[in-house]
């Protein structure tokens, strides 16, 4: 059975780990009352993970353009193949949309993003409280939609593994 390249597998699992970590940290940090040193540290880590996910997304798209993914299994119906492609395109879109919305929200809040505490990412515009209030729920709901899509992706992979027993999951396992 044709597998994904080792690079594609590494990028997939690294991105997945960072997305799950950033999502979890986002839930934890927003539940911390007040403005504490721990909360500020978590916000920084959350932003760093978001910037890293965005960079990995760019690399993943470039890698995928240069390296064709394995063909769909012959046992998949055309509808299943279209659904799989659609979900992958949607996940790629969301992997860009979530960190970009977080960056825009942070910029609108007037808070700089200093990647790893070393490199300040330029702001595209000045702080804007009204835009901040608009972007906060946008970032939140994009995260929730991404979380639901990730759960759907996992459920589909598990269906292929345990119900269809067609080996699809093995193509992406290290």
pLDDT bracket for residue 29 (50, 70, 90): very high
> Rounded to an integer, what distance in angstroms lies between the CA atom of residue 87 and that of residue 92?
9
Task: Collapse the DSSP code of 113 into the 3-class scheme (helix H, G, I; strand E, B; otherwise coil) and give the result.
Answer: strand
Question: Does residue 60 form part of some domain?
Answer: yes
Distance in Å from the first CA to the final CA of the chain: 14
Query: Is residue 17 in some structural domain?
Result: yes
Long-range contacts of 21-28 (CB under 8 A, 24+ apart): 21/49, 22/46, 22/49, 22/50, 22/53, 23/143, 23/146, 23/147, 25/49, 26/143
What pLDDT does residue 164 have?
A: 94
Assigned domain for 104 exists: yes
Residue 57 lies in a domain: yes
The parent domain of residue 48 ranges over 6-171
pTM of this prediction? 0.95
pLDDT tens column, 55-91: 999 999 999 999 999 999 999 999 999 999 999 999 9
Q: Does 1 fall in a domain?
A: no
Cβ neighbors of 74 (< 8 A, separation 6 or more) are: none
How many residues are listed for the chain in this entry? Answer: 174
Name which of 120, 51, 57, 138 is nearest 91 in CA terms.
57
Bridge-based pairing of strands 113-115 and 119-121 is: antiparallel
Whether 89 is in a domain gets the answer yes
Mean predicted confidence (pLDDT) in 1-8: 95
Which CATH number covers residue 153?
1.20.950.20
Question: Maximum distance among all alpha carbons in the chain?
Answer: 55
- pLDDT reading at 41 higher than 90: yes
Band of residue 171 on the pLDDT scale cut at 50, 70, 90? very high
- What is the spatial distance between Cα 152 and Cα 24, in angstroms, rounded to a whole number? 18
| Position 129 in a domain | yes
pLDDT of 99-150, one tens digit each? Answer: 999 999 999 999 999 999 999 999 999 999 999 999 999 999 999 999 999 9
167 near 1, Cβ under 8 Å? yes
Total domain count, the chain: 1
61 domain-assigned:
yes
Report CA-CA distances (Å) from 114 to 39, 98, 106: 16, 18, 11
């Amino acid at each position: 059975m044709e597998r994904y390249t080792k690079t594609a597998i590494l990028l997939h699992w690294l991105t997945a780990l960072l997305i799950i970590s950033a999502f979890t940290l986002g839930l934890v940090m927003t539940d911390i009352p007040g403005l504490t040193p721990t909360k500020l540290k978590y916000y920084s880590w959350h932003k760093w993970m978001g910037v890293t996910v965005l960079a990995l997304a760019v690399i993943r798209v470039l890698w995928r353009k240069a390296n064709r993914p394995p063909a769909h299994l012959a046992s998949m119906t055309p509808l299943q193949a279209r659904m799989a492609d659609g979900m992958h395109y949607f996940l790629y879109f969301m992997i860009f949309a979530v960190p970009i919305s977080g960056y825009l929200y942070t910029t609108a809040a007037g808070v700089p993003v200093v990647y790893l505490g070393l490199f300040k990412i330029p702001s595209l515009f000045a702080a804007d409280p009204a835009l901040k209030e608009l972007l906060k729920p946008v970032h939140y709901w994009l995260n929730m939609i991404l979380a639901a899509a990730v759960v759907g992706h996992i459920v589909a992979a598990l269906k292929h593994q345990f119900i269809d027993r067609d080996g699809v999951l093995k193509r992406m396992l290290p």
